[in-house]
Amino acid sequence: MFLFLFISLFFSRVWALDIPHKTYQLPNGLSVILIEDHSIPQVTVDIWYAVGSSDDPKGASGFAHLFEHLMFMGTQRIPQGEFDTRMETYGGWNNASTANDYTNYYSVGPSALLDLLLFLEADRMVGLDITQQKLDLQRDVVRNERRQNYEDQPYGSIWLSLSEMMYPPGHPYHLEGIGSHEDLEAATLNTVTQFYSDWYMPNNATLCVSGDFDPNTIEEKIETYFSPIPAQKLPKRFVAEEQQQPHTPEVTLYDQIQIPAVVLAWHSPKYLSPGDAELDVVSQVLAGGNDGRLISKFVLEEERVQEMHVFQYSHQKGSLFIMQVFVRPGNDLQKLVADIHAEIAIIADQSNPITEEDLRLSVKDLEMNFYSGLESNLARAEKLQSLKHHTGSTSNIQMLLSRYQDIQLQDVHTTIQKYLSPEKAGVIYVYPKGEEQ
């Protein structure tokens, strides 16, 4: 597989990239993706539900993530704790994640484990056993996760503040997906059960089986386990308005840290829309290595910055272009922000423009990252799942590469001018506790 990826990287301009696969849909609306690969005796069962934290009910932030936890708490046929035990006994493992716009569940194991993995996934799609005791347990788990990963984690409060700073109340991205303590405490058995009924159904899901399976029997197996589950009517989804400015332009935080930090964020194009790929290129040019414009100036030459990360944080209902900057003590954070804006302006007005060589190297790095993300059965399943979720089709994976390869230099400069102006930026200043004025 690695050799295939290596060759594909150097001939991607000649050969269209493809992950050989088959797609179809069951009568109940379940979409199916099959990726056959017999290189190792392993199989992945990966299911995406088109529901994420942006679909949390009003006053119920964190519901999608809380529900991800509840999905491992047993069904009417598989008692609590046995979901993991049954697959781990035979060498399998599983995990899940909740994003803004989807929740995915995946299980990986030896090929002989396929029937069990399919059965377990179908069983919890329709037969989840939600009790008050399980809700109370997982509510506490999620609240502790919020404390550990955000409230007590150095710099963790940034990510709680960022969403509120950039998006207005009522926007589906206004609150971080972990949810608030108040909303999690207010969750009831009725509201959680309703969330399950609203979103967890075959016509809101895509199942991908990737790896070493028998192509002559796989469709019959999927039909056996999933076709009895009925389709349901989906709730009306919230339509988000495109954002141009941060809701709050500036936020100051004090945290248990030794090194101050700054986060700059701009609203940017949603995933796969014009400008999204260009900003991936911009992130590489600015901070993709020691030659990155901002790394070279502020980290290596002036030594005002200890570390810097720049990335396009792409989502379905709108994205953020983010700079996370860890500042050496003794430097003025406001002055640094002004100088970062000035450096971007120099690129935007082409006083020191991005060059064709900058573009070529950035695209090369993005291509390499793309191909390295296709090496496992799970990675290929996730790539096609993402393509299906965001475009409605798996037929054009080459587009994910071509959107970089087809970028023109003027497109990059135009995108910088359009999105990365100082007046459109939100800024979070983070100081060590004890420096409050």
Which 3 state secondary structure label does DSSP give 263? strand
Which 3 state secondary structure label does DSSP give 174? coil
Q: What amino acid is encoded at 390 in this protein?
A: H
In order along its 437 residues, the chain shows pLDDT tens digits of 444 444 444 444 546 788 999 999 999 999 999 999 999 999 999 999 999 999 999 889 999 999 999 999 999 999 999 999 999 999 999 999 999 999 999 999 999 999 999 999 999 999 999 999 999 999 999 999 999 999 999 999 999 999 999 999 999 999 999 999 999 999 999 999 999 999 999 999 999 999 999 999 999 999 999 999 999 999 988 888 889 999 999 999 999 999 999 999 999 999 999 999 999 999 999 999 889 999 999 999 999 999 999 999 999 999 999 999 999 999 999 999 999 999 999 999 888 889 999 999 999 999 999 999 899 999 999 999 999 999 999 999 999 999 999 999 999 999 999 999 999 999 999 999 877 76
Which 3 state secondary structure label does DSSP give 212? coil
* Domains of the chain listed by start with CATH number: 19-226 (3.30.830.10), 250-432 (3.30.830.10)
Which 3 state secondary structure label does DSSP give 237? coil
Q: How many C-beta atoms lie closer than 10 Å to residue 60's C-beta?
A: 20
* 278's tokens: 């260009």
* Integer Cα distance of 58 and 316 in angstroms: 20
* Integer Cα distance of 374 and 380 in angstroms: 5
Q: What sections of 288-420 are H helices per DSSP?
A: 293-294, 333-348, 356-372, 377-391, 398-405, 409-419
* 205's tokens: 């899901």
Question: pTM score, two decimals?
Answer: 0.93
* Integer Cα distance of 24 and 35 in angstroms: 12
